Structure 1
Amino acid sequence: MHQELFMPRFRSLFATIFCVSVFVLLAACSENQPIATTGAPTIAPAQAVGTAPPAQAGYCKNGGAVVVQANEPLAARVNGQPIPLSLYQRQGAQAEAALVQQGVDPNSDQGKEALKGLRAQVLSQLIDDVLVEQEAKKQNISVSPNEINDRVQQIINDAGSKEKFDQYLTNNQLTIEDLCQQIRSNLFGEVMMASVAGNLPTKVEQVHVAHILFAKREDAEAALQKLNSGGTDFATLAKQVSQDEATRDNGGDLGWFPRDVMPPEFEQAAFALQPGKFSGVVTTQLGLHIIKLLERDPARALSPELIQNQRQAAFTTWLDQLRKKSKIETLVQE
């Protein structure tokens, strides 16, 4: 068990799979192209899913907004704003194709279950996208058509030619409209992420911890007895008996971490210790632990990964609260 196993995961199945289609296009064309993991497509009055600016010269019409035609079937409404069924079906098909490309057999029981979950994630992401852009509008935050067109042009430049770019779209069942809409979503996701989580602290209390992982309580209790009797030191015992292959060879050292990273039981025990002291047997979903506090720092700088995790956690919490107070009507069977 390594520290990363404890890290909360915030990216949805949709974001993971859909990156193979739309997001991978951005990454495949340029490894340096920044990509938001949470987007936000279209909002608008009346019949536009998104506040569609006037059409401008460039690749993306209507600023990447998806326009809903009169009497068009809908997949959902978010605070009265429509999500067209065609958009849901198109993105669902793209995501399913990407899943198959990853080697999933759609006819197997596992594949059928994965596809069912994937469709639910596609709709959930589309709903979140609308919520994010609606909130951006309330805060007078906008994304200009020029920004969207500039990103498309950069992707084309990185691809090497317009022909290679067009071929990639064709091979992956994408249209330029799909790409424009997703870039729009990404941009709104980026600006709202900055608005919601841009001012989080970068220095917080952290602890430097080692642990020994056990599968059986009797083994944990026997090890604790050895430690209490002074018959062995913590690092040596970890190397001998810990079930955590990732940290065993370095004496169970998990490194530094702040609050809200480890499971609650593990965190509570670790932060309650004084440097040099070890805990009793602590149970988490990963097994049984004896934890030793090596060091404590009241204001240690967070790593870039932990900063991003904190930002994503804050954004996810904000989005969950937004969902709870919004009127969301699902009009399609997932």
Structure 2
Amino acid sequence: MVGPGGGPPAPGAGRGRAGAPGGRAARKPVQAHVRWRDVPNSVRDWSELTRAQRTAASAKIVAVAATLILSVVSVLVGVALHGEFVVRPSEPVSSVNGDPIPASRYADLLALRRFELSRELANAPTSADPRDPSHPQAQLSTLTISAATELTNAHLLRGRAALDGVGIDDHAVNVALYEFVSGPGDVADDFDFRAAFAEIRDQTQLDSRTIRSFMADRALADVVADRLAADLDPAPEQIRASQIVVLTEEAAETVIAQLDAYQPFELVAEQASTDPDSAPDGGDLGWLPRGLMPDAWDEAAFALRPGGYSQPISTPQGWHVILVHEQSDSRPLDPAAAERRRQVTYDNWLQTLRSAADVQFLLTPEIIDWATRR
């Protein structure tokens, strides 16, 4: 192919289409031909409507869509409410020999104990150690678990008491209720029981019947504890003892070295002991019968002669060094020691019941969350 002037053809020459600028042919637009009879009926019908008819039809469509949406939302809300107020309250937090304890009862006890412990916390001395398990703050921190245990114990208690023919009357329940409503400490002369009880019901959102049922459990526990304590020796073997409690065996060996160097036991206890109850008093525990302290503690302490101190003893509370001041086989128990022995005896009795029963804890985070919100 020869270009202008006889030279070689220009680059790209001969590649274009005829009739197009620069040698390219023009592309013809493609037109779609749609026959009216091929258009769907719904579109043809819609196009043939007047503006007023289209407006009315649009409103109907919106109304139908809104109705469908509201129906779906209503179903979802209904399902949620059913779970919140029907399904969740009946879910078990535990079972005792196949008998379920429902979450509704658990939520009620949480409300009652939260009120009670908060009231005790407000009246607790500032010097009290909040890490002590008996401190209201410590009890509040473990309440979601301990409430399920308390309900289980109450169920076991009622079952055993019924078998043994032990019961309570309305007077016992009324006494327990009065003690609960009046709270810790002395009761003022102008104390208005009815007004205080009404305020508690408002704060806890519990009715009188529910609160009385919990007081009935407490009254029954007191009756059983009294019966168990009545069978105990009123003047058991006792020792008057002191102790030093530390966290590690190495610290306990240091205490022994100090005592071997004739440092006063009371002074070492005040300086080194971690027991918040006895350390300020030089480790003094007063008179104790067997059974109030861990078994390892009892075994070591009751083997000591007056004036002697033990080697380090390990218990779940730490490492103990024990000093025995006196021994007695005939001394009546002090009221505080008698009450502690009564409670320990009752707790051991409950533990025996739990060991013999088929107890299953079924508490879940979802139930805890629901009960706490409720």
When the two structures are superposed, what TM-score results if normalisation uses the length of structure 2? 0.53
- State the SS of the aligned residue for 1:281: coil
* C-alpha deviation, 1:238, in angstroms: 3.0
C-alpha distance in 1, partners of 2:164/2:111?
A: 34
* C-alpha deviation, 1:147, in angstroms: 4.9
Percentage identity across paired residues of the two chains: 25
Contact 1:94 1:173 in 2 (8 A): no
Q: Which residue of 1 aligns with 2:331?
A: 300
Q: Are 1:174 and 2:206 counterparts?
A: yes
Q: Which residue of 2 aligns with 1:216?
A: 251
Q: Are 1:165 and 2:197 counterparts?
A: yes
C-alpha distance in 1, partners of 2:139/2:243?
A: 35
Letter in 2 for 1:324: S
C-alpha distance in 2, partners of 1:119/1:90?
A: 12
* C-alpha deviation, 1:90, in angstroms: 2.5
C-alpha distance in 1, partners of 2:95/2:279?
A: 52
Q: Which residue of 1 aligns with 2:164?
A: 139
C-alpha distance in 2, partners of 1:98/1:159?
A: 18
Q: Which residue of 2 aligns with 1:310?
A: 341
C-alpha distance in 2, partners of 1:249/1:153?
A: 35
Contact 1:237 1:251 in 2 (8 A): no
Contact 2:292 2:344 in 1 (8 A): no
- State the SS of the aligned residue for 2:222: helix
Q: Which residue of 2 aligns with 1:120?
A: 145
Pair 293,82 (structure 1): closer, same or farther in 2 beyond 3 Å:
closer
C-alpha distance in 1, partners of 2:100/2:304?
A: 53
Contact 1:202 1:301 in 2 (8 A): yes
CA-based RMSD = 4.0
Letter in 2 for 1:118: L
Q: 1:261 aligns with which of 292, 305, 321?
A: 292
* C-alpha deviation, 1:282, in angstroms: 2.3
| Bigger Cα displacement from structure 2, 93-102 vs 162-171 | 93-102
Contact 2:176 2:218 in 1 (8 A): no
Pair 171,297 (structure 1): closer, same or farther in 2 beyond 3 Å:
same
- State the SS of the aligned residue for 2:305: coil
Q: 1:272 aligns with which of 294, 297, 303?
A: 303
Contact 2:292 2:341 in 1 (8 A): no
* C-alpha deviation, 1:168, in angstroms: 3.2
Pair 320,159 (structure 1): closer, same or farther in 2 beyond 3 Å:
same
| Bigger Cα displacement from structure 2, 179-188 vs 236-245 | 236-245
C-alpha distance in 1, partners of 2:342/2:110?
A: 28
Letter in 1 for 2:258: A
Q: 1:238 aligns with which of 251, 265, 280?
A: 265
* C-alpha deviation, 1:195, in angstroms: 2.9
C-alpha distance in 2, partners of 1:218/1:82?
A: 50
Letter in 2 for 1:238: F
* C-alpha deviation, 1:125, in angstroms: 0.9
Pair 193,114 (structure 1): closer, same or farther in 2 beyond 3 Å:
closer
When the two structures are superposed, what TM-score results if normalisation uses the length of structure 1? 0.59
Q: Which residue of 1 aligns with 2:185?
A: none
Q: Which runs of 5+ in 2 are unaligned?
A: 1-85, 123-137, 183-188, 369-374
C-alpha distance in 1, partners of 2:242/2:158?
A: 43
Q: In terms of Rg, which structure is larger?
A: 2
Q: Are 1:281 and 2:281 counterparts?
A: no
* C-alpha deviation, 1:210, in angstroms: 4.6
C-alpha distance in 1, partners of 2:251/2:226?
A: 45
Contact 2:242 2:285 in 1 (8 A): yes
**Superposed, which structure 2 residues align to 1:70-219 within 5 Å?**
73-75=90-92, 76-96=94-114, 117-145=142-170, 147-148=172-173, 159-160=191-192, 162-210=194-242, 216=251, 219=254
Q: Are 1:319 and 2:344 counterparts?
A: no
| Bigger Cα displacement from structure 2, 292-301 vs 72-81 | 72-81
Letter in 2 for 1:81: D
Letter in 2 for 1:196: L
Of Structure 1 and Structure 2, which has the larger fraction of its residues in strand?
1
Q: Which runs of 5+ in 1 are unaligned?
A: 1-68, 104-112, 228-235
Pair 328,272 (structure 1): closer, same or farther in 2 beyond 3 Å:
closer
* C-alpha deviation, 1:264, in angstroms: 4.3
Pair 177,271 (structure 1): closer, same or farther in 2 beyond 3 Å:
same
**Superposed, which structure 2 residues align to 1:46-85 within 5 Å?**
73-75=90-92, 76-85=94-103
- State the SS of the aligned residue for 1:257: strand
C-alpha distance in 1, partners of 2:309/2:175?
A: 55
Count of paired positions: 247
Letter in 1 for 2:225: M
Pair 177,208 (structure 1): closer, same or farther in 2 beyond 3 Å:
same
C-alpha distance in 2, partners of 1:218/1:161?
A: 55
- 1:126-167 per-position Cα deviation (integer Å, ceiling 9, x unaligned): 111111111111112223346546766896998426344323
Contact 1:273 1:293 in 2 (8 A): yes
- State the SS of the aligned residue for 2:236: strand
